[in-house]
Amino acid sequence: MTTTEPSGVRRGLDAQTLEELRQIGARYPQARSGLLPMLHLVQSVEGQVTAEGIEACAQILGISAAEVAGVATFYTMYKRRPVGDYYVGVCTNTLCAVMGGDAIVERLEEHLGIGNDETTPDDGTGRTITLEHVECNAACDYAPVVMVNWEFMDNMDPASATRLVDDLRAGAEVRSTRGPRICTWREAERVLAGFNDGLADEGPAAGPATLVGLRTARANGWRAPEASTSSDDADNEADPAGDKQDSNDGNDSRGGK
Amino acid sequence: MLTPVLSDNWDADRAWTLPSYERGGGYRGVRKALRMQPDEVVQLVKDSGLRGRGGAGFPTGMKWGFIPQDNPKPKYLVVNADESEPGTCKDIPLMLASPHTLVEGVIISSYAIRANTAFIYVRGEVLHVVRRLQAAVAEAYAAGYLGKNIEGSGYDLDLVVHVGAGAYICGEETALLDSLEGRRGQPRLRPPFPAVAGLYASPTVINNVESIASVPSIVANGAEWFSSMGTERSKGMTLYSISGHVKRPGQFEAPLGITLRQLLDLAGGVREGHQLKFWTPGGSSTPLLTAEHLDVPLDYEAIGKAGSMLGTKALQIFDETTCVVRAVLRWTEFYKHESCGKCTPCREGTWWMVQVLARLERGQGSETDLEQLLDQCDNILGRSFCALGDGATSPITSSIEYFRDEYLDHLRQGGCPFDPAASTLFATVGADA
């Protein structure tokens, strides 16, 4: 049983998937380097890391299934049980936990009626949610942080997190605070396998916390020092740090915020 | 006070795209570097005083100089974009906003060490950052900044965006190499060092995202320009990430040596009605500091002298509503979860430390458990292949040093004396904590 969805996500280890697995290996000087993205692709088509997926990777790379399984069980993003359409990861490392991550997990477990690393049953909508607490996701200035299919949902609280999962289950449009409309977990895994979905231009360059320092610098007229002009005339006009003296340099997207 | 260089284009229109980056002067560093000899680029970065921004602070140019150029094997550059140290959140926003800054740095750095293949090892849990990197690399190929005969120089470079799969340990450079070879991410015994036998047993340089992203500005503006910022031995500008109980958390790019007092001021101070209790200077693996350290310059030397480490400059701020025992227990659970299992002191030690800490947090156990914890730390520190175990001891030893009484309060009261609701972001403003 093999189908291809509009997003390009395929289901099943068909001939094309096997070909894509080989393509991943071919990106590297040594094909085994491709094993991590290959396993992401397996998850995209199988909804988890399956025994068949492990066997396929092993055959393509000419290593044992045990070696592939050893890798698949080492990394937390690889799942040995079916994952829902929306993987909701709540950061409960210290800073997010203290700022409210623990309260968010508690509320979501109660609201969804599931525990950590469990998936909601299909309520007829066809949309399921897997809930897990995750470690630091490098967004501490937006704490507490929730990840949905590895997209940032910044500055959450129990109420907004509850609305988030309700919207996901209802099929409403949910956008990452710093990214595009949330895709499915399988679609996300395909991107992680190196097959770009063309959504890079969605969302902002940066969220507000990212820009706090820059905006403070702009407001106060603080800049990096000018480069000395003696070293290389040809390059000074392009000096990335030195062009702030004249903020009206034709690039009106900068300096005036 | 602040010196935006790396962050300078983050508010530009479509900052992540090639046209936007080039409008701001991007990729002229590549052209300039390609007119220099590779060794001149290495020397320039040595002269700048740039030190690794991933935590250890090792001089970047010196690292490049360790690559044996008479070794006939291919050389590799690997960017460590596996940002996972708790509290650390600078490389992810940098790559999201301006992936081309990193790509340009990769090209110059690879040229300097004579590598024709480079990798960006990015953690898997940041989907949109992966998209932006993939798109930036594709744009750079299309524009001739990657591939064959870059800018007519005769220099070839291929750049692969490699996505990890969730393992803090892969931020350790030799574990990262094993992971990049398609294996479990477990650290290697050194020597041999990666410079001699790294990826595929070939000479390899591994640098942090921010280190590599700093290279284009150094090439464009010169070593003197870079070293005019910072302190005597900690040169240049850097990204400080402030998070936690402050009014305006976020990224602040300043010269090395600024103080937490100054940065807190820029971040609006500790949230209304509360006071600073403890903080990390560079992620959870760097020993905790307190309000008495507000005026210590945030550079490698001064923070070291104060008994901690500059690390990743991840300043996690906790106010007086936070239970330090709870905070330390949670970090310890993290280290236990992330220990790769290779070295016994770390694998077993982190497990036992969680047991002891969890009991203390429940108000059970006795004062001798504190000595037990310190003894466990003593048996882990410096006794494993990599620094994960060392890092796991930092919050414990420093919290016992500064907050021994708070541990004892848990025992006296038979439980945690703190209300966790009071420390949340959504705690009622002005409520009595």
CATH of the domain at A20: 1.10.10
Q: How far is CA B267 from the centre of its chain?
A: 20
With b for 16 or more beta-carbon neighbours within 10 A and e for fewer, the B366-386 pattern comes to eeebbebbeebbebbbeebbb
Take residue B235 and report the two structure tokens written for it.
Answer: 């040169």
B331 domain residue, yes or no:
yes
A203: closest CA of chain B, how far (Å)? 9
Longest dimension (CA), chain A: 71
B6 domain residue, yes or no:
no
Q: Where are the beta strands (DSSP E) in B247-399?
A: 250-255, 276-280, 289-290, 314-319
- Verify that B255 and B121 share a domain, yes or no: no
- Verify that A125 and A177 share a domain, yes or no: yes
- Verify that B159 and B244 share a domain, yes or no: no
Regions of chain A with pLDDT less than 70? 1-7, 229-257
**Residue where a domain stops, chosen among B179, B197, B228:** B228
A122: closest CA of chain B, how far (Å)? 25
Contacts of A200 in chain B (CB under 8 A): 16, 128, 131-132, 134-135
A56 domain residue, yes or no:
yes
**Residue where a domain stops, chosen among B228, B250, B271:** B228
Contacts of A39 in chain B (CB under 8 A): 165
Contact B88 A224 (CB under 8 A): no
Band of the pLDDT at B428, cuts 50, 70, 90? low
Asked if the C-beta of A147 comes within 8 angstroms of chain B's C-beta atoms, the answer is: yes
What is the predicted pLDDT for the residue at B427? 82
- Is the pLDDT score of B390 beyond 50? yes
A233 domain residue, yes or no:
no
| Tens-digit pLDDT profile for residues A73-105 | 999 999 999 999 999 999 999 999 999 999 999
A228 domain residue, yes or no:
no
- Verify that A69 and A101 share a domain, yes or no: no
The answer to whether the beta carbons of residues A220 and B3 sit under 8 Å apart is: no
CA–CA separation, A59 and A21 (whole Å): 11
B8 domain residue, yes or no:
no
> In chain A, where does DSSP find H-type helix?
15-26, 35-46, 51-61, 65-72, 94-96, 102-112, 158-170, 185-192, 208-220, 233-236
- Verify that B290 and B191 share a domain, yes or no: no
**Residue where a domain stops, chosen among A14, A39, A74:** A74
B69, B178, B242 from B72: Cα distances, Å = 8, 22, 45
What is the predicted pLDDT for the residue at A255? 32
CATH of the domain at B68: 3.40.50.11540
The answer to whether the beta carbons of residues A189 and A44 sit under 8 Å apart is: yes
CATH of the domain at A148: 3.40.30.10
B276-280 sheet: strands from edge to edge: B250-255, B237-244, B314-319, B276-280, B289-290
B9 domain residue, yes or no:
no
pTM (two decimals): 0.94
Instruction: Give the A:B interface size as CB pairs under 8 Å.
Output: 338
- Verify that B41 and B106 share a domain, yes or no: yes
| Tens-digit pLDDT profile for residues A111-121 | 999 999 999 99
Q: In a mutagenesis test of the A interface, which of B125, B328, B335 is the best target, namely the one with the most A β-carbons within 10 Å?
A: B125
CA–CA separation, B221 and B235 (whole Å): 14
Structural domain for B249, as ranges: 237-319
The CA R_g of chain A, rounded to the nearest whole Å, is: 23
| Percent residues over pLDDT 70 in chain B | 99
- Verify that A115 and A178 share a domain, yes or no: yes
Strands A146-148, A86-91: pairing is: antiparallel
- Verify that B332 and B379 share a domain, yes or no: yes
- Verify that A56 and A113 share a domain, yes or no: no
- Verify that B312 and B331 share a domain, yes or no: no
CA–CA separation, A99 and A82 (whole Å): 31
What is the predicted pLDDT for the residue at B110? 98
- Verify that B417 and B294 share a domain, yes or no: no
Contact A78 B83 (CB under 8 A): no
What is the predicted pLDDT for the residue at A5? 66
**Residue where a domain stops, chosen among B319, B354, B373:** B319
| B98: Cα within 13 Å, side-chain hemisphere | 32
**Omega prior to B255 cis, within 30 of 0:** no
- Comparing CA positions, the residue from B260, B229, B222, B221 lying closest to residue B244 is B260
What is the predicted pLDDT for the residue at A6? 60
- Verify that A94 and A164 share a domain, yes or no: yes
CATH of the domain at B347: 1.20.1440.230
Domain count of chain A?
A: 2
- Verify that A64 and A90 share a domain, yes or no: no
Length of chain A, please?
257
Contact A192 B124 (CB under 8 A): yes
Nearest residue, CB atoms, B12 vs list A136, A201, A254: A254
- Verify that B108 and B190 share a domain, yes or no: yes
B427 domain residue, yes or no:
no
Domain count of chain B?
A: 3
- Verify that B185 and B295 share a domain, yes or no: no
- Verify that A121 and A166 share a domain, yes or no: yes
A160 domain residue, yes or no:
yes
- Verify that B292 and B348 share a domain, yes or no: no
A131 domain residue, yes or no:
yes
Asked if the C-beta of A69 comes within 8 angstroms of chain B's C-beta atoms, the answer is: no
- Verify that B77 and B155 share a domain, yes or no: yes
Contacts of A74 in chain B (CB under 8 A): 167, 184-185, 340
What's the distance, Cα to Cα, between the start and end of chain B in Å? 34
- Verify that B254 and B184 share a domain, yes or no: no
A48 domain residue, yes or no:
yes
Structural domain for A15, as ranges: 3-74
CA–CA separation, A139 and A96 (whole Å): 9
| Tens-digit pLDDT profile for residues B307-360 | 999 999 999 999 999 999 999 999 999 999 999 999 999 999 999 999 999 999
Strand partners, B396: none
SS3 (DSSP) at B285 = coil
- Verify that A90 and A164 share a domain, yes or no: yes
**Residue where a domain stops, chosen among A182, A214, A243:** A182
A31 domain residue, yes or no:
yes
Asked if the C-beta of A8 comes within 8 angstroms of chain B's C-beta atoms, the answer is: no
Strand partners, B278: B290, B318
**Residue where a domain stops, chosen among A41, A74, A107:** A74
- Comparing CA positions, the residue from B270, B269, B266 lying closest to residue B253 is B266
B431 domain residue, yes or no:
no
B5 domain residue, yes or no:
no
The answer to whether the beta carbons of residues B390 and B377 sit under 8 Å apart is: no
